[in-house]
Amino acid sequence: MSKHPILYIKRGCPWCREAMAFFQRHAVEVDLRDVNLSAQNMQRMIEVSGQTKTPTLEFGDFIVADFSVEELKDALAEDPETRMELGLGDNYEDD
């Protein structure tokens, strides 16, 4: 598994900014990959998620594509092991 989760973004995307702010608030270091700046990043995002929308999170087998922060929280609630691996305790929903 990658040391840090990979967050695929597009510059100017408001949902991407919200996702980056969420991870920053919770001190989760992410590997940002702008898919508009790299065809390789776009191809990888498509490979792991089957789509072209951002933000998309890849952390091992845990993939959340085209999400809002609320949708990310829902996905994390369903996968507590990944939530803990990311360093998010039970208070991640409080913001």
The verdict on residue 80 lying in a domain is yes
Residue 79 lies in a domain: yes
Whether 1 is covered by a domain: the verdict is: no
> Is the distance from CB of 6 to CB of 59 less than 8 angstroms?
yes
Say if 85 falls within a structural domain: yes
Q: How many domains does the chain have?
A: 1
22 within a domain of the structure (yes/no): yes
Whether 29 is covered by a domain: the verdict is yes
- Average pLDDT of adjacent 10-residue blocks, the chain of 95 residues: 86 96 95 97 97 97 96 95 89 63
CATH number at residue 29: 3.40.30.10
Domain that holds residue 34: 6-94
Q: Give the global pTM.
A: 0.92
Strand order through the sheet with 62-65: 31-34, 6-9, 56-59, 62-65
